[in-house]
Amino acid sequence: MSTPERTGVVAAEWEARLGAVFADPSLLRLVFQPIVDLQRGTVAGYETLARFSTPDGRPSEATPDRWFAAADAVGRGAALEAIVVRQALVVLPTLPADCFLTVNVSPHLLTEPELADLLLAVDDLAPLVLELTEHQAVSNLRPLVDLRDRLRARGALLALDDAGSGYSGLQQITQFRPQLIKLDRALVADADGDEVKLALVEMLGEFGGRIDAWLLAEGIETWGELQAFLRLQVPLGQGWLLGRPGPPWVQLDPAVRDRLRRQAAQARLTEHVAGLAEPVLVVQDGAVPAGAMGVEVDEYGHPRCLLIPHRRGADPPGHRRAPVTLRVPASAGVSEVAQRVAARPEETRFDPVVCVDARGAALGIVRVERLLLQLAAAHAG
């Protein structure tokens, strides 16, 4: 347990460290981590991250979050964040075309004059994104919402960090209406093996779509995690797998870019069974040419049975009438359909799946062999 004397020593040490940075702001430098458009495999933006040094030029052993917490504890939090924002504004004009730049700000400090006046002094803040970090509750939101509107009028956008980490985070989404929602890292880690996490991400994605906000998966470290977010159509990603923090403006490694584009293409192909469906003869009287696959339907176009051709050379030639044991909408996911196929009785497991429209009318068939090949290709990618 810390003694009062030790607590006082630590506070004095932090005041000395902070004093050195305020006296020489070059002891705080910025690095930039790429934010990637997962569907196109291109850099869409960068996150601004702070790095601290000691007066003798050595990297600080304390993490950046400890620096900002210590500054906040002594009433200098807004001043320290203002150094970061000021440096970000300096490099903003050099940002590559079609990219945005995010910078972290604390909601309870954003209305302080050191930060608010600095931002409001700039007529055009685009394409700056203010990323609200949730570390301390804001008792009165009205001034913050008013400032948000004034900053948006100057072109700034809003991002919300750590979404999905708790009820308060969901409250902030409804109150601030951000344009960017960053998923909490706890939701991203090992998400490919956790259906509960994926379900929550899917829910946040649907909610974000309703308020015109994009999801950003932060902290992606494995290709499995990336593939999971591609399947959920999460538009943006960030993490060491895609690119580490560095000087402006780090581009994607070509090998990472190419693999990402291949996986994105595979995810698009295997996302819905519509991409696997093939045309089929639709008849009402069971009359199908020899060797052709058919679906017999009722007067509404609803499938009644499959007309599966006998193997070549069979005697007599013709078709086998098989019940339709699985019909799926064109929007059904490939993985979901494969699971349902595997649950069918053994004697019908490899019969074609009938793909139907919203009215239940037959559109085509999906061969089980093709379904499995697509899943295997996606897994290999």
Residue 196 and residue 338 in one domain: no
* pLDDT at residue number 86: 97
Residue 203 and residue 331 in one domain: no
Amino acid at 20: A
Boundary-marking domain end, from 266, 289, 310 = 266
In this prediction the pTM is: 0.71
Residue 127 and residue 171 in one domain: yes
The model's pLDDT over 369-379, given as tens digits with 9 standing for 90+, comes to 888 887 776 66
Residue stretches of the chain with pLDDT short of 70? 1-10, 134-139, 163-172, 266, 268-271, 313-315, 377-381
* pLDDT at residue number 2: 44
* pLDDT at residue number 329: 84
* pLDDT at residue number 285: 86
Q: Are 302 and 362 in contact (CB under 8 A)?
A: yes
Residue 284 and residue 177 in one domain: no
Cα–Cα distance for residue pair 22/17, rounded to 1 Å? 9
Residue 186 and residue 254 in one domain: yes
* pLDDT at residue number 151: 95
* pLDDT at residue number 331: 75
Please report, for the domain that includes residue 281, its CATH number: 3.10.580.10
Residue 15 and residue 107 in one domain: yes
Please report, for the domain that includes residue 172, its CATH number: 3.20.20.450
Name the residue range of residue 88's domain. Answer: 4-266
* pLDDT at residue number 5: 39
Boundary-marking domain end, from 239, 266, 293 = 266
Boundary-marking domain end, from 266, 283, 309 = 266
Residue 366 and residue 241 in one domain: no
Residue 281 and residue 179 in one domain: no
Residue 136 and residue 262 in one domain: yes
| Strands across the sheet containing 303-309 | 281-283, 294-297, 303-309, 319-323
Residue 315 and residue 229 in one domain: no
Q: Are 312 and 292 in contact (CB under 8 A)?
A: no
What's the structural domain count of the chain? 2
* pLDDT at residue number 233: 84
Among 231, 243, 213, residue whose Cα is nearest residue 271: 231
